Structure 1
Amino acid sequence: MASPGYGKRSAPGQARRATDTFTHLPAREAYIASHIDRLPDGAAMDVKTLAKELPYGQQALRTALNNLSEAGHLRRVREPADEDSTQWVFRTYFSRTARSDAWWERWLNEGDEPQPDPKPQRSPAYTALATLGRTDFRLALSAKECADLEPLAAEWLARGIPPAQLIAALTTALPSPVHHPAAFTRSRLTEKMPPEPPPTRTPATTAPARRIMECTSCRTPGRPEALSGGLCRPCQGPDVPAAGPSPEEHEASVRAHMARVRAGLRRAGRG
């Protein structure tokens, strides 16, 4: 046990202990977290004490405790020994339920248990990565590692690979041991990335007309050929010249022209 007032403190509102409580953590961190979880409140949690109880050196324990802190399982706190005391003590609050930064901040500032964090809606990609450790303990990932790898896993799903097939692709034929689960998973996600699906073809359609002409004067819509000069026929007025001679006028003009030609030939013959 630590000196009175020091040592481990259990955070409030934790879920019950279960066999899969720490399966989302790497093997070392899960082992250490399980040990700390079973320590009574007030127990010493310094690395020297833990090194005597666990098969890890002090440096490895420091790294593991930092990882547990990043995963939301513990916070080191300096606070008064009691409400009226001027003596400050160092305590380590531990939660078997991972907590967000906002949860820890609210609780440590308010002194009472805050409302539980709303369960975030995890994406299918994140959920698949978090499930790897349950499928094969050698690929147990922390919450931060799942978040870091989530975009790569999401790309697999976007290319038509269902979550179950993604999990199988990542956990099949694993080496033993897997020294760096996150790095190994990243490598497989990158190297075995499935090809992009072919683009979906859609039937060609005629685009609707983007412009409809209208009369400049009265704004009556009409086809371009009916809007000479941009004006409809009523707005063109009676003084607008006709587009050309009528068929009757054209025929009379041709007959008159031919008569002049014949008359010219007769005069030439007499001469």
Structure 2
Amino acid sequence: MAIQHPSPALRAPASSRPYPMAHPGYGKRSAPDQQPRSGHDFMLLPLRERSIAGFIDHLPDGAAMDVKGLARQLPLYGQQAVGSALKALSVAGHLRRVRCLVSGAGGQVRWVFRTFWSRTARDNEWWAHLVGAEREQSAIAGPVGVEPSVVEPSAVEPVVVRPVTPVVPRQRAQEPAPPASDGRSPAYAALARLGRVDARLALSAADCAVLEPLAAEWFARGVDADYLVRALAAGLPAQVDSPVGFVRRRLTDKIPPHPPAVPQPPAAGAPVRLVMMECTKCGAPGRAEALPDGLCRPCRLPGDEEPLADLPAERDVRTYVAGLRDLLKAP
């Protein structure tokens, strides 16, 4: 008697032609740390999902993963069945769709759409960690994951965005100003100018030498001599009994804050990385925490959607149409 050997991971018949590949940087991406293939893969899935999962698992990295492309290679299932199966595989922890914003030569920026696949079922925390690792991955030259070879494109076309030029706010130079011609520091020279701006702030040479370190701290925070003099001489009282004490107090109390750090623009040719997960069914982008099982709330809980307004019954429609006819007959 013949002995049957069931295989839980069913596979669709292999196509006679090579499976279409996605654009470079798109398509299937195998997740790390997967278990070796075995006859028990996808055993807990229904027959349709088990068959499609086995087919996807044997696809090479970079293969097209759009619904239309998969349906063309799976003659037993249409696009709607494939879409439903991908949603079920996402809930089961085998699949996540991710979009990544990358930039290449010439400053062009585009979205790259990838489908991460794991033969081993993973939970939401594991997938969130994977997306975070992709986001924090060190930058490399050129668009991420783009090979130089040209392959057959998939049905998903890249979205090309206008080149983005980083806008860097202007900031005062933080380098110390050059010393004065007489060998004095800019801080000392600015303090010596106070008496010429307003006689109430006249300082001696010894006073300027004592206050020089406090004034130098202002220059270290990005201000110049004109700013320092205006700040110290503004709003003076009618009489200043001790110019050195008054200026010391203002140097301490009115010292400007440290300038904020300005993010450096990316070097020429360096990629701009922005990675986020998207809903497996509708493609809505979002954070991994907001897309448990890889699905947004409307796709995950259809019953929680806002109910549509009640449609009129058939008899109400007939009554309404009859009323319209009566109005047309009226003189």
TM-score by length of 2: 0.33
Greater gyration radius? 1
More helix by share: 1
Q: What TM-score do you get using the length of structure 1 for normalisation?
A: 0.40
Higher relative contact order (CA 8 A, sep 6+): 2
